[in-house]
Amino acid sequence: MAENEALIPKHGGYRKLKSFQIAQLVYDVTVRFCDRHVDRRSRTHDQMVQAARSGVQNIAEGSQASGTSKKMELKLTNVARASLEELRLDYEDFLRQRGLTAWPPEHPALKRFKAKRCSTLEEVSVWVEEERRRDKNTDEHGRARTNTEAATAGEPSVSVGDGPCQSVSVGNGPRQSVSSAQLVANAALSLLNLCCYLLDRQLAAQAAAFEQEGGFTERLHRVRSAERRKP
Confidence at residue 118, expressed as pLDDT on a 0 to 100 scale: 97
Q: How far apart are CA 200 and CA 22, in angstroms?
A: 14
The rounded distance, in Å, linking the Cα atoms of 57 and 13 is 13
Q: How many CB atoms lie within 10 A of CB 201?
A: 12
Q: Phi-psi region for residue 117, left (φ > 0), alpha (ψ -120 to 50) or beta? A: left
Check whether 54 has a pLDDT greater than 90. Answer: yes
Q: Which CATH number does the domain 2-106+191-229 belong to among 1.10.10.1590, 2.60.40.10, 1.20.1440.60, 1.20.1050.10?
A: 1.20.1440.60
Give the start-to-end residue ranges of the domains of the chain. Answer: 2-106+191-229
pLDDT digits (tens, 9 = 90+) for 163-219: 444 433 333 344 457 899 999 999 999 999 999 999 999 999 989 887 777 555 555
Confidence (pTM): 0.74
Q: Which residues contact 212 (CB under 8 A, 6 or more apart)?
A: none
pLDDT (0 to 100) of residue 5: 57
pLDDT, tens digit (0-9, with 9 covering 90-100), for 127-170: 999 999 998 766 555 555 555 444 444 443 333 334 444 433 33
Contact 55/17 with Cβ under 8 angstroms?
Answer: no
- Please determine, for residue 221, whether its predicted confidence score (pLDDT) is greater than 90: no
- The per-residue pLDDT for range 55-109, each reduced to its tens digit, is 999 999 999 987 778 889 999 999 999 999 999 999 999 999 999 999 999 999 9
